Structure 1
Amino acid sequence: MSGCLYQLQTNALPGQIMVIAGPFDTYGRVIKLQDSGYHLIRGLGHKKPTERIAS
């Protein structure tokens, strides 16, 4: 069940892929920075994406 939405604080920019510790996802793409200061992140599953990953 990958593809979950997460709200996390990070230094990554929208569009970047990052490592997350979600129950269904190990990687996620930052969608946007919300007014609350948290980033909205879409889970990409457990398989490492071929794109560069933000640290």
Structure 2
Amino acid sequence: YGERHACHATAEKIQALLRRGSIKDIFDHGLHEFLAEFIRDNTRLGDEIAQDYRFH
């Protein structure tokens, strides 16, 4: 409790991306690129949660 781990920063990055981004921004940048980055970030988040909370 009260500790910050790498997964917290990654989760905040993902949340900020979803809050700031608009559909227009996504299509301007490229849907494929957005999805690839989103999947990569979520995979990283899962790995960090497993490491930070010793789920492996």
- Per the normalisation by structure 2, the TM-score is 0.21
TM-score, normalised via structure 1 length: 0.21
**RCO (CA 8 Å, sep 6+): is it higher in 1 or 2?**
2
Of structures 1 and 2, the larger Rg is shown by 2
